[in-house]
Chain A
Amino acid sequence: MKAVYALYADPDAAQRAVNSLRDAGVADADITIVSSEPLEQHELGRRDHATWMFWIAAAGGAAGLAFAVWLARLTETAWPLPTGNMPIVAWWTNLIIMFELTMLGGILAAVITLLVTARLPDWKPKLYDPEVSDGKILIGVANPSSASVPAIERALHVGGARLKTLG
């Protein structure tokens, strides 16, 4: 993988670098931002905020509920066990199973959505630098065209940041 990037000590400098890259004509989707913590208080950290995760979790809950109703009803009618004068299909008690599986469905759907949309697990090489773990913020462009490299390097050189290249 080819890449040009720089590491910034503070989010303000990183934000300036992102702005410079935009000014140089690099599309947002091509700018890689990597940090060791969420940067909610800066514009660069608020990218890709929109998500369907809440709705998908709700759908997962609904699927869990449907599965619970099916499981409870199927088993109670297939193996009818008279218990304490209760009806064979006892909805009061089935409510407990329905509740638990609804919640389980919602939780699993949220986690699966996280893994799919955040592309985890993914051990393929990608634009990263271990210095990110020391609190540095990585701003860079992966696989840039040869023609755009000088402009990207100029844009990343904000505040005297040291440029790094891969490949």
Chain B
Amino acid sequence: MNEAARQDVTRGLTPRERMSDDLLRPLLQTSWRFWATVALLGSVVATGLGTWAYQMYRGFGMTGINMPVYWAFYITTFVFWIGISHAGTLISAILRLVNAGWRRPVTRCAEVITVFALMIGALFPIIHLGRPWLFFWLVPYPSERGIWPNFRSPLVWDFFAINTYLTGSVLFLFLPMIPDFALVRDKTTGWRHRVYGALALGWQGTPKQWHRLEAAMQIMAIAIIPVAVSVHTIVSFDFSMALVPMWHSAIFGPYFVAGAIFSGIAALIIAMAALRRFLHLEDYLHPVHFQNLGKLLLMMSLLWAYFIFNERLTVWYGNEPAEREVFLVTQRGSFAPLFWTMVVCNFVIPFVILSIKKLRTITGCVIASFTVVIGMWLERFLIVVPSLGHKYLPYTWGQYRPRPVEIIIVLSTFSAMVLLYVLFSKLVPIISIWELKVGEHYVADATPRAAAEHPLLKAHP
């Protein structure tokens, strides 16, 4: 009997009660560390919002964006966040469909990333507008100004794709939370009881409700996978539909999707490691979860290297003058340090760490994931900026240097992501409690090998 199990026996708790206790603890107890974290992150986000207000007041000229590089930090970060959003819903949907038992503690952590990353990502085209109060011009509706969005424009495709994915992801996240809201409702009193009671929608837990919930989740998992793939393909169309050197490529769709899943898995590993450490979820997020995701990250790293090689080889072999210039400026020119940092971050470090079993620990996976996140942001930057600065006619060539407003706004969105995640894990059980309980049935009945993942069960067979 391990120490945790011994304590449970002393406190008279069954494993299931301990599960509820552990996963509800962050909701019901608040330490000063929580408020300190919120204050710190909130101040960074407030700085970002203030900087954005300053940019609106002084005009878009405050940024380094100028002819010919009209897309830079903001669009780079837009693509980056949309990529990160692929962590959750897509991975969760795939694991749900194949009924992978180890997914249960992982899915909600992942789905939350999708929703917040999409919200933050979708903000960047609005920031990039310069006059964000006119963002509704992006929305396709009959306009008496005679402005009607062109359905042949990739930007309108973005509107439909991102909104479909956001709607689907929010619902995919919310539906399995309903039974957990009911559990929190039953465990709380006062205003919490009323709020969670309202969120639980009057959930009772009859067999009919369970069947319908599971059927809806199956359908959504089937629908959301092609939608997730389409979203990043359509984001890639923003580039590949334009006759710009190294953009107009048929490989961009799958290349972007692979990159998105790659960066998404890395973000998920970082989030899980943080939750495990700060919310003390060691009994639920096991090393095996990190090892499995680490293997997936390794596979995506190899796939990313394959795509980069394909793209670069084709351009180098074709030797078309405009494309060659972009190729050279990234391989050997002013962007070379960023390019080779990207290769090290996205391929060399993850490959070394994740392919050696001894190094594929939680710490190893987190280190590899951090480098991948940095590398993938650089990849987006290297797609956007060098090509725009080196178009077909050399007299239009130009340089881009980010200005402080752009850097502050971009950095503040990372804080915003962490802040939203912290607040979410304070308000909602970050691991789906009912799904975890169902998983214990399966472990007990059918899959003894998985017992290694569930010390609770080993302690209380």
* A residues with CB within 8 A of B: 32-39, 41, 44-49, 51, 53-54, 57, 61, 71-72, 75-76, 78-79, 81, 83-84, 86, 90, 93-94, 96-97, 99-101, 103-104, 106-108, 110-111, 113-115, 117-124, 126-128, 130, 132-135
Q: Name the A residues within 8 Å of B161 (CB-CB).
A: 96, 100
- Assess whether A38 is in contact with B182, with CB atoms less than 8 Å apart: no
- Assess whether B186 is in contact with A133, with CB atoms less than 8 Å apart: yes
Shortest distance from the beta carbon of A93 to any chain B beta carbon, whole Å: 5
Q: Is B148 an interface residue (CB 8 A)?
A: yes
The listed residue (B187, B201, B211) touching A120 by CB distance below 8 A is B201
* Interface 1/0 per residue, B421-445 and A, CB below 8 Å: 0000000000000100110010001
- Assess whether A75 is in contact with B219, with CB atoms less than 8 Å apart: no
Q: Is B350 an interface residue (CB 8 A)?
A: no
Q: Is B307 an interface residue (CB 8 A)?
A: no
User: Of residues 8 to 28 in B, which have CB atoms within 8 Å of A's CB atoms?
Assistant: 14, 16-17, 20
Tally of A-B residue pairs with Cβ under 8 A?
175
- Assess whether A107 is in contact with B441, with CB atoms less than 8 Å apart: no
Q: Name the A residues within 8 Å of B210 (CB-CB).
A: 35, 37-39, 45
Q: Name the B residues within 8 Å of A36 (CB-CB).
A: 179, 183, 205, 434, 437
Q: Name the A residues within 8 Å of B97 (CB-CB).
A: none
Given A104-B167, A132-B205, CB of A79 within 8 Å of CB of B216: no
Given known contacts A35-B210, A49-B211, what 7 new A-B pairs fall within 8 Å (CB)?
Answer: A39-B210, A96-B160, A101-B160, A101-B164, A103-B226, A107-B220, A117-B208
- Assess whether A37 is in contact with B438, with CB atoms less than 8 Å apart: yes
The listed residue (B148, B208, B213, B227) touching A48 by CB distance below 8 A is B208
Pick 14 A–B contacts, CB within 8 A, sort by A: A41-B441, A47-B207, A51-B212, A75-B140, A84-B152, A90-B152, A100-B161, A103-B164, A103-B168, A111-B216, A114-B213, A114-B215, A119-B209, A120-B209
The listed residue (B198, B212, B434) touching A118 by CB distance below 8 A is B212
- Assess whether B201 is in contact with A54, with CB atoms less than 8 Å apart: no
- Assess whether B182 is in contact with A83, with CB atoms less than 8 Å apart: no
The 5 lowest CB-CB distance pairs between A and B, nearest first, are: A121-B201, A48-B208, A133-B186, A130-B186, A38-B210
- Assess whether A110 is in contact with B197, with CB atoms less than 8 Å apart: no
Closest to A35 in B: B205
The listed residue (A32, A37, A115, A121) touching B206 by CB distance below 8 A is A32
* Interface 1/0 per residue, B92-115 and A, CB below 8 Å: 000000000000000000000000
User: Of residues 191 to 244 in B, which have CB atoms within 8 Å of A's CB atoms?
Assistant: 197-198, 201-216, 219-220, 223-224, 226-227, 230, 234
Q: Name the A residues within 8 Å of B156 (CB-CB).
A: 97
* Interface 1/0 per residue, B168-192 and A, CB below 8 Å: 1001000100110011001100000
* B residues with CB within 8 A of A: 14, 16-17, 20, 140, 146, 148, 150-153, 156-157, 160-161, 163-164, 167-168, 171, 175, 178-179, 182-183, 186-187, 197-198, 201-216, 219-220, 223-224, 226-227, 230, 234, 434, 437-438, 441, 445
Closest to B227 in A: A103
The listed residue (A45, A48, A120) touching B202 by CB distance below 8 A is A120
Q: In the bound complex, what is the Cα–Cα distance between A107 and B224 (angstroms)?
A: 8
The listed residue (A47, A99, A110, A135) touching B17 by CB distance below 8 A is A135
- Assess whether A104 is in contact with B164, with CB atoms less than 8 Å apart: yes
Q: Name the A residues within 8 Å of B157 (CB-CB).
A: 93, 96-97, 100
- Assess whether B206 is in contact with A38, with CB atoms less than 8 Å apart: no
- Assess whether B434 is in contact with A54, with CB atoms less than 8 Å apart: no
- Assess whether B202 is in contact with A122, with CB atoms less than 8 Å apart: yes
Q: Name the A residues within 8 Å of B209 (CB-CB).
A: 118-120
Q: In the bound complex, what is the Cα–Cα distance between A37 and B160 (angstroms)?
A: 36
Shortest distance from the beta carbon of B275 to any chain A beta carbon, whole Å: 22
Q: Name the B residues within 8 Å of A46 (CB-CB).
A: 207
- Assess whether A110 is in contact with B216, with CB atoms less than 8 Å apart: yes
- Assess whether B148 is in contact with A114, with CB atoms less than 8 Å apart: no
Given A36-B183, A111-B216, CB of A93 within 8 Å of CB of B151: yes
Closest to B441 in A: A41
- Assess whether A107 is in contact with B204, with CB atoms less than 8 Å apart: no
- Assess whether B207 is in contact with A133, with CB atoms less than 8 Å apart: no
The listed residue (A54, A86, A107, A130) touching B215 by CB distance below 8 A is A54
The listed residue (B171, B179, B214, B219) touching A54 by CB distance below 8 A is B219
- Assess whether B150 is in contact with A113, with CB atoms less than 8 Å apart: no
Given A99-B230, A103-B164, CB of A133 within 8 Å of CB of B187: yes
The listed residue (B146, B182, B223) touching A133 by CB distance below 8 A is B182
- Assess whether B151 is in contact with A114, with CB atoms less than 8 Å apart: no
- Assess whether A94 is in contact with B212, with CB atoms less than 8 Å apart: no
Q: Name the B residues within 8 Å of A84 (CB-CB).
A: 152
Closest to B24 in A: A133
Which of B201, B226, B230 has the most chain A CB atoms closer than 10 A to its own CB?
A: B201
Closest to A58 in B: B219
Shortest distance from the beta carbon of B111 to any chain A beta carbon, whole Å: 14
Q: Name the A residues within 8 Å of B230 (CB-CB).
A: 96, 99-100, 103
- Assess whether B151 is in contact with A75, with CB atoms less than 8 Å apart: yes
Shortest distance from the beta carbon of B245 to any chain A beta carbon, whole Å: 18
- Assess whether B212 is in contact with A126, with CB atoms less than 8 Å apart: no
- Assess whether B182 is in contact with A44, with CB atoms less than 8 Å apart: no
Given A36-B437, A107-B167, CB of A113 within 8 Å of CB of B152: no
Q: Name the B residues within 8 Å of A97 (CB-CB).
A: 151, 156-157, 160
- Assess whether B140 is in contact with A134, with CB atoms less than 8 Å apart: no
Given A48-B207, A96-B157, CB of A72 within 8 Å of CB of B186: no
Given A41-B441, A51-B211, A53-B219, CB of A100 within 8 Å of CB of B202: no
